[in-house]
Chains A and B, each alone.
Chain A
């Protein structure tokens, strides 16, 4: 598959690392695996790390927004980090920056969760 998903359970958040290409085809797997992790209740917050994402289109925006809504409904937070310039541009275009918390890297993303809680 052209997308790899890696989970790391941290103290404050579940870190989800996406590597490869996030499109309509691979978004399905991202959706179901993250949904499962969130519903299992093993994480309160999510850090979505996109540093190694080599391609993303609007299907990616949809699945990210979906997970944001899901974790928010449970009272958790989602922070995204590691946005490369093309992904940054899609976030900007769709207004996702207005609702999502964005940090430079994983370390800062985790730290930002410690400040707010």
Chain B
């Protein structure tokens, strides 16, 4: 299983959010995660993909969202990437309850959830070029086997 990976490309349509999180969860399953860990992963994928669609592409369905998942030992490395508008102020975007689109009833909790559910979250972004979210999480349920 060392170095196993997958990548997924799909149109920036909201109906693909469910497809994306379920697919990533299915891939991660080989690490034998707990139900809670699987829910965490599904939720962060949903958050990052939703951000790409709403903020990266401004709800334009012609964008492409790319997800990669890599398994290394008991750790999941996830990236969610768009070629959209980029984030102007990453620090502000990561603040709990901050949203640039209050009119869309966004809760502003996306990044906070990603940070809480994953061990590490990095953001690479450039205005007009896009955003890449890089996340890492150790799957605890496998810990015993690797120690």
CB A36 to nearest CB in B, in angstroms, measures 15
CB B8 to nearest CB in A, in angstroms, measures 17
Q: Mark B91-125, 1 if CB is under 8 A from A, else 0.
A: 00000110000001111111011001000000000
B53 nearest in chain A by CB position:
A24
The answer, yes or no, to whether B39 is at the interface (CB within 8 Å) is yes
CB A68 to nearest CB in B, in angstroms, measures 11
**Total B residues in contact with A, Cβ cutoff 8 Å:** 26
Known: A57-B47, A58-B47, A86-B39. A23 touches B105 (CB 8 A): no
Known: A24-B54, A63-B105, A94-B97. A55 touches B17 (CB 8 A): no
The answer, yes or no, to whether B29 is at the interface (CB within 8 Å) is no
Known: A65-B105, A90-B113. A23 touches B46 (CB 8 A): yes
C-alpha spacing A55/B21, complex, angstroms = 11
What DSSP secondary structure best describes chain A's contact surface? helix
CB A46 to nearest CB in B, in angstroms, measures 16
In chain B, positions 14-31 with a C-beta closer than 8 Å to chain A are 14-15, 17-18, 21
- Residues of chain A within 8 A of B109, CB atoms compared: 58, 61, 90, 93-94
C-alpha spacing A64/B78, complex, angstroms = 29
The answer, yes or no, to whether B43 is at the interface (CB within 8 Å) is yes
Q: Mark A1-27, 1 if CB is under 8 A from B, else 0.
A: 010000000000000000001011101
Q: Which residues of A contact B (CB under 8 A)?
A: 2, 21, 23-25, 27-28, 31, 55, 57-59, 61-63, 65-66, 85-86, 90, 93-95
